[in-house]
Amino acid sequence: MRDEFNRVMELLWLPDVFGYSAALPQIILKSGLKYFMTTKISWSQFNRFPYDTFHWRGLDGSEVLTHFVTTPCGEYRFYTYNGLTRPQDVQGIWKEYQQKDLNDELLLAFGWGDGGGGPTREMLESALAQRNLPGQPCVKLGKAEPYFERLEERLAGQDVPVWDGELYLEYHRGTYTSQAAVKRANRKAEILYHNAEWMASLADLLTGSSDYPAEELNSGWETILVNQFHDILPGSSIHPVYEDTLRELDEAATIGNDVVIRSSNLLVENMPIPEGLVVFNSLSWQRNDLVEIPIPPEMTGRTLQKLNGVPMISQSVEKDGGKHLLVAVQGIPSLGYQACSWTDAKVKAKNELLITPTRLESQYYVIGLNPHGQIESIFDRRHGREILAAGERGNVLQTFEDRPMNFDAWDIDIYYQEKMQEITDLVDAVVEEEGPLRGTLKLVWRFGKSTLIQRIQIYCDQPRIDFITEVDWHEQQVLLKAAFPVDIRSTRATYEIQFGNLERPTHWNTSWDWARFEVCAHRWADLSEGNYGVALLNDCKYGYDIKGNVMRLTLIKSAIEPDPQADQGMHYFTYSLLPHAGDWRVGDVTRRAAELNVPLLTKNGFRAGSESTLPLELSLAAVDAEHVILDTVKEAANGDGWVVRFYEYQQMSNPAVRVNFCKSLCRAVECNLMEEEFQPVQYDEQGITFPIRPFEIKTFRIWF
């Protein structure tokens, strides 16, 4: 708006979005905006939202003046942004409004909005005829932003209601799951572009290439963001939309992958690695993890060793019809890399994994399965307790008849639970991997016309239990969930959202509670007692429900309207169970979920004997506060300097977070999300120091 029309916008106008994240108020304010407008919350099924004009307080405490347009939509109970200007509409907007004691001027958005036709001559004439009509509110034509400015002035000094937390829409809960393929492609694209921005920044800074691919990345981001529009990403569009979307996201992935390949090539070319591998870590903490690489024929029988000559533990595995090497790497620097080389040394590792069709054991767990492939027991050896509730079964694949009253792709109605059927037709159970690093049990079920293949994986040195799943799905109006009834007593569960997390009740005490029978989250949800908890992680799902002690993740929806082919065919996803001591903070659930979603990257060394300008191990940036994540590294939008963005994720204040960089700084400033409005920040040649508050987002521009 500023670039094209020389106007600065201060109003976020989102009339028709299916609920609003508690992270949004902070994002609004740090984007240079002041006000927020919607109508959609009025669509809620069970409870009328108590305010139409209020201050919306977000996750970090940021507050935004918010106003709901209260124009009635004919005979329906909800408000509309496609209003008419008939006398009954003008009268209705005042009748519906709930803050009459605070404000007597309202906003009516009129026109054929969904059809793109805008206001008609009749609507304008009707509005003008009601400028001073007895018994009616006075109608004036005007603009939205000046309305909000007047509203802010009118409310000054008054006791304005405050709503703290998310604006949950009690409707359209199916949009967390519908059209699973596009949701997966979107998640993978977001991660890829995070990696591409960081890798391109690293290559530019370390090699001096001055060739940051800004135009390519911007082009890819625009494609990703266009396809986050509703009704695309929510899964509520017609079939041709998804043919286009998946093709476009694939094109964006090609761009992002090309950036990663070129940038990593540039880095590796400047390292003296005659025969070896470089492992890249795009997360902002040091990692110990597994990498899986194809075995070059000339390296068969060999393994990798660290820079100090210590061989790494490895395991030969089959993948895609070929031999791969699974290697346990350690100490991969934050936002950096570590090189290693091939060796003939043999490492004999003790195998502590036991894998059979009915029993899996590691140093962490003893897992028992019944003849249907369901888990009968998960005993936590570290803490001496059974994870599943007494007499219950875990990883139960549940199907439900899913026929909502309206809006098939949009909705899941509360009565869906009345018709549940478990998937129990286990046709195969095969041990695929037996350690020492990883053990895998492959299970195959049939259900209706569909086939489900799942690989349960356990590890020698990490407590995650992975369920790597392929589904060939040919059911319609059938909802698929995975259920884990755990031996945990808690009245609240914690769910990750953008830039933080929030709690929601696990009980149905009130209508507000049971209206949240399906909720959204990003990479994890957690149910914890004071000293123990269980997290359910995922790599591309968004729909959860946790009631009492039963944790469920929604996997497939398969609606038939507006797309009769929705969710038909192949699905690929992974979800994981992560038991832990303490709550989600003690269990470091956010980091573990990020590691599931963002694997380490590898690149073969290929310039034998080349002169090196780069070290064989490097961290671009290291954060000294474990509760702060460095989420984004990229070139500034205008090409001047570099942008680093952090967020606090454990609800803790810190007066002095320290971040050290691998290159000497010459300048640093704090800025908003638009990379403007510079404020001073404490810095020296080695890095920056700044305070941070619970769930706060911090953005800086730096120059080396």
Residues 580 and 434 in one domain: yes
pLDDT score recorded for residue 439: 98
DSSP string of 84-112, one letter each residue: --SHHHHHHHHHH-S-TTT-------BSB
Residue 672 falls within a domain, yes or no? yes
How far apart, in whole angstroms, are the C-alpha atoms of residue 186 and residue 578? 24
Q: What is the mean pLDDT of residues 241-258?
A: 98
In the residue annotation, 16 being an active-site residue is answered as yes
Domain for residue 612, yes or no? no
The pLDDT value recorded for residue 300 is 81
Q: Report pLDDT for 346.
A: 80
Residue 485 shares a structural domain with residue 631: no
**Is 158 contained in some domain?**
yes
548 contacts: CB under 8 Å, gap ≥ 6: 506, 507
- Give the tens place of pLDDT for each residue, 121-158: 999 999 999 999 998 999 999 999 999 999 999 999 99
Q: Are residues 189 and 163 in the same domain?
A: no
Residue 157: the pLDDT is 95
| 163 burial type by CB count under 10 A (0-12 exposed, 13-18 middle, 19+ buried) | middle
User: What is the structure's pLDDT at 78?
Assistant: 86
How far apart CA 626 and CA 630 sit, in angstroms, is 10
Strand partners, 276: 341
Among the listed residues 512, 456, 509, the one whose alpha carbon sits nearest the alpha carbon of residue 484: 456
Q: What is the mean pLDDT of the chain?
A: 95
Pair (281, 427) in one structural domain:
no
Do 120 and 217 fall within a single domain? Answer: no
User: Quick one: pLDDT band at residue 297, thresholds 50, 70, 90?
Assistant: confident
Within 10 angstroms of residue 476's Cβ, the number of other Cβ atoms is: 17
pLDDT band at 607 (very low <50, low <70, confident <90, very high): low
CATH number at residue 287: 1.20.1270.50
Same domain membership, residue 529 and residue 485? yes
Give the tens place of pLDDT for each residue, 585-595.
999 999 999 99
Alpha helices in 176-238 (DSSP H): 180-207, 214-226
Domain tally, the chain: 4
Tell me if 355 is assigned to some domain.
Answer: no
> Mean pLDDT throughout 20-39?
97
pLDDT exceeds cutoff 70 at 637: yes
Same domain, 200 and 81: no
From 16, 461, 487, 513, the catalytic residue: 16
Looking at residue 259, its pLDDT comes to 98
Taking alpha carbons only, the member of 339, 371, 340, 342 closest to residue 358 is: 371
DSSP, res 537: E
Q: What is the C-alpha to C-alpha distance for residues 455 and 127, in angstroms, rounded to an integer? A: 64
Q: What is the domain extent for residue 470?
A: 362-597
Assigned domain for 176 exists: no
| pLDDT beyond 60 at 242 | yes
Q: 5-14, 292-301, 572-581: lowest mean pLDDT where? A: 292-301
Give the per-residue pLDDT at 241.
98
Q: What is the pLDDT of residues 456-481, one digit of tens each?
A: 999 999 999 999 999 999 999 999 99
Token pair belonging to 621: 């940036």
pLDDT confidence of residue 674: 95
Tokens 């090497």 locate to 325
Q: Which residue has the higher pLDDT, 651 or 435?
A: 651
C-alpha to C-alpha distance for 202 and 199, rounded to whole angstroms: 5
**Quick check: 636 pLDDT over 60?**
yes
Distances (CA, A) of 506 to 57, 544, 549: 23, 12, 8
Is there a single domain that holds both residue 589 and residue 680?
A: no
Of residues 144, 16, 130, the one with CA closest to residue 84:
130
3-state helix/strand/coil string of 134-191: CCCCCCCCCCHHHHHHHHHHHHCCCCCCEEECCECCCCCHHHHCCCHHHHHHHHHHHH
- pLDDT, residue 345, reads 86
Claim to verify: residue 142 and residue 287 sit in the same structural domain: no
Taking residues 279-284, report their average pLDDT.
98
With beta carbons less than 8 A apart as the criterion, state whether 345 and 311 touch. yes
What integer is the mean pLDDT of 299-312?
A: 88
- Encoded amino acid at 23, one letter: A
Cα 322 to Cα 315: distance, rounded to the nearest angstrom: 14
The pLDDT of 15-27, averaged and rounded, is: 96
Mean pLDDT of 645-659: 98
Assess if residue 353 is contained within a domain. Answer: no
Angle among Cα 467, 470, 473 to the nearest 5 degrees reads: 130
Residue 575: count of CB within 10 angstroms of its CB? 23
- What is the reported pLDDT for 660? 98
Q: In the predicted model, what is the mean pLDDT of residues 70-79?
A: 83
How far apart CA 246 and CA 41 sit, in angstroms, is: 30
Residue 281, pLDDT above cutoff 90:
yes
The pLDDT of residue 273 is 74
Q: Which two tokens stand for residue 580?
A: 């832990």
In this predicted structure, what is the pLDDT of residue 301? 82
- The pLDDT assigned to 230 comes to 86
pLDDT value for 339: 94
Q: How far is CA 62 from the centre of its chain?
A: 21
| Long-range contacts of residues 682-691, Cβ cutoff 8 Å, at least 24 apart | 686/660, 686/661, 687/621, 687/658, 687/659, 687/660, 687/661, 688/658, 688/659, 689/656, 689/657, 689/658, 689/659, 690/656, 690/657, 691/653, 691/654, 691/655, 691/656, 691/657
Q: Are 456 and 440 spatial neighbours (Cβ–Cβ below 8 Å)?
A: yes
Q: Are 513 and 428 contained in the same domain?
A: yes
**How confident is the model at residue 623, as a pLDDT?**
98
Whether 510 is in a domain gets the answer yes
Q: Which of 397, 414, 406 is nearest to 559 (CA)?
A: 406
Instruction: With cut-offs at 50, 70 and 90, classify the pLDDT of residue 296.
Output: confident
CB 197 within 8 A of CB 628: no
With residues binned 3-state (H G I as helix, E B as strand, rest as coil), the percentages for the chain, rounded to 5, are 20, 35, 45
Least confident residue range of 214-223, 273-282, 629-638: 273-282
Is 606's pLDDT higher than 70? Answer: no
Mean of the pLDDT values across residues 107-119? 84
Helix/strand/coil for 431? strand
Q: Is the pLDDT of residue 610 over 90?
A: no
Confidence of residue 388 (pLDDT cuts 50, 70, 90): very high
Locus of tokens 């890399």: 337
Cα distances (Å, whole numbers) of residue 71 to 454, 574, 704: 50, 44, 54
Let me know if residue 615 belongs to a domain.
Answer: no
Sign (positive/negative) of CA torsion 369, 370, 372, 377? negative
CA dihedral (617, 622, 625, 626) positive or negative: negative
> Which CATH number fits the domain that encloses residue 157?
3.20.110.10
pLDDT per position as a tens digit, 409-459: 999 999 999 999 999 999 999 999 999 999 999 999 999 999 999 999 999
Mean local confidence (pLDDT), 598-605: 93
| 42 and 154 inside one domain | yes
